[in-house]
């Protein structure tokens, strides 16, 4: 199948790489040639790591890269049966992007990788909104087995079936979720994260103890506070504010989170969040 991916950033390159590895012809579009080139280079690097680990054969890597074409020209999407947008998380940009994709393709299913915006709001930018769906991939795409299939108010049954078939062909598992704030994964993940932050605030236990509770008590690979540091405290605050508005008080952003974001303590990327980070590792608790 011909698949078009819009945006060659973190997610777009992952989705393009997974699609090409599964045998699809992929066109990846970004707004400037260097972004496209960097995206394709990065797909090559990820596949190279797969070869080094023995999970990808060298000829599979070469064949996958051969199936990827980069472009900045929207007209090159014309033959796509599936378009997946992974442009920045802004409603107006997403609406323009899907409308452009609909205009230049002929009956393609148009999917959005949004992690928090209303699919129903994105779909309403289309002339035929029944073709819109959410395909919420997780980072890093090549290692994460889940794709949340987000069903907008307008999405047709045939679109859901098509999208689920595509994801299964990538060797990943789908869960179908109605278009509601935070879908399933962000809502559940953030609910645990926000309670963990309140527990730090109330002095219930140290961040490390709270993380160990979930890692050893529930077999989570990483605790909620370390995960917040990895995702970025600013990103977590944005999602919480959106969920608070839609779902009420239980998602009220804790003061400790707002305080840290105001102080520029955004987690791993700035060297401090709930932990102090050095060389990409948490080395101790941050001062409260």
Cα 95 to Cα 110: distance, rounded to the nearest angstrom: 11
Is 8 marked as binding a ligand?
yes
Strands 281-285 and 275-278, by their bridges, are: antiparallel
**Residue-wise DSSP of 39-63:** HHHHHHHHHHHHHHHTSS-HHHHHH
123 or 199: whose CB is closer to ligand NAD?
123
- Of 37, 58, 128, 139, the one binding ligand NAD by CB under 6 A: 139
> Which of 240-272 are b and which e, b meaning 16 or more Cβ less than 10 Å from the residue's Cβ?
bebbbeeeeeebebbebbeebbeeebbbbebeb
Binding segment toward ligand NAD, per CB under 6 A, in 25-33, 60-68, 165-173, 215-223: 25-33
Q: Provide the sign of the torsion angle of the four alpha carbons 43, 79, 151, 232, taken in this order.
A: positive
Residue 27 near ligand NAD by CB under 6 A = no
Is 21 marked as binding a ligand?
no
Asked if omega into 140 is within 30° of 0 (cis), the reply is yes
Over the window 71 to 100, marking each residue x when it contacts ligand NAD by CB under 6 A and - when it does not, the resulting string is ---------------xxxx-------x---
Residue 114 near ligand NAD by CB under 6 A = yes
115 or 174: whose CB is closer to ligand NAD?
115
Residue 240 near ligand NAD by CB under 6 A = no
Residue 105 near ligand NAD by CB under 6 A = no
Residue 166 near ligand NAD by CB under 6 A = no
Q: How far is the CB of 141 from ligand NAD (least distance, A)?
A: 9
**Backbone torsions φ then ψ of 115, nearest 5 degrees:** -100, -10
Cα 112 to Cα 137: distance, rounded to the nearest angstrom: 10
Is 94 marked as binding a ligand?
yes
- Of 18, 21, 35, 118, the one binding ligand NAD by CB under 6 A: 35
Residue 190 near ligand NAD by CB under 6 A = no
Residue 34 near ligand NAD by CB under 6 A = no
Cα 246 to Cα 113: distance, rounded to the nearest angstrom: 20
3-state SS class at 180: coil
Residue 15 near ligand NAD by CB under 6 A = no
Cα 286 to Cα 288: distance, rounded to the nearest angstrom: 6
Residue 206 near ligand NAD by CB under 6 A = no
Interacting residues with ligand NAD (CB under 6 A): 6-12, 29-31, 35, 86-89, 97, 113-115, 137-139
Q: Which residues are annotated as a binding site for NAD(+)?
A: 7-12, 30, 89, 94, 115, 139, 269
């Amino acid at each position: 199948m011909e698949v078009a991916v819009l945006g060659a950033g973190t997610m777009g390159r992952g989705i393009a790489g997974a699609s090409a590895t599964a045998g699809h012809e992929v066109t990846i579009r970004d707004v400037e040639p260097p972004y496209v080139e960097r995206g394709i280079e990065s797909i090559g690097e990820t596949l190279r790591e797969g070869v080094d680990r023995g999970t990808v054969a060298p000829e599979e890597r070469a064949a996958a890269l051969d199936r990827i074409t980069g472009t900045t020209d929207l007209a090159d999407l014309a033959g796509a049966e599936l378009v997946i947008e992974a442009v920045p998380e802004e409603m107006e940009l997403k609406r323009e992007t899907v409308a452009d994709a609909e205009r230049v393709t002929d009956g393609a299913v148009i999917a959005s990788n949004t992690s928090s915006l209303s699919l129903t709001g994105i779909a309403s930018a289309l002339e035929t909104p029944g073709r819109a769906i959410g395909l919420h991939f997780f980072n890093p795409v090549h290692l994460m087995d889940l794709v949340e299939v987000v069903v907008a108010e307008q999405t047709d049954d045939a679109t859901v079936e098509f999208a689920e078939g595509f994801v299964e062909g990538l060797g990943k598992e789908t869960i179908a979720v109605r278009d509601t704030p935070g879908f399933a994964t962000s809502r559940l993940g953030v609910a645990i994260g926000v309670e963990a932050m309140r527990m730090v605030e109330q002095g219930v236990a140290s961040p490390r103890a709270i993380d160990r509770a979930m890692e050893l008590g529930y077999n989570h690979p990483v605790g909620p506070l370390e995960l917040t540091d990895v995702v970025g405290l600013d990103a977590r605050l944005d999602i919480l504010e959106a969920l608070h508005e839609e779902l009420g008080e239980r998602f009220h952003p804790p003061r400790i989170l707002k305080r840290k974001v105001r102080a520029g303590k955004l987690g791993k990327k700035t060297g401090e969040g709930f932990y102090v980070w050095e060389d990409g590792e948490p080395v101790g608790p941050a001062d409260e």
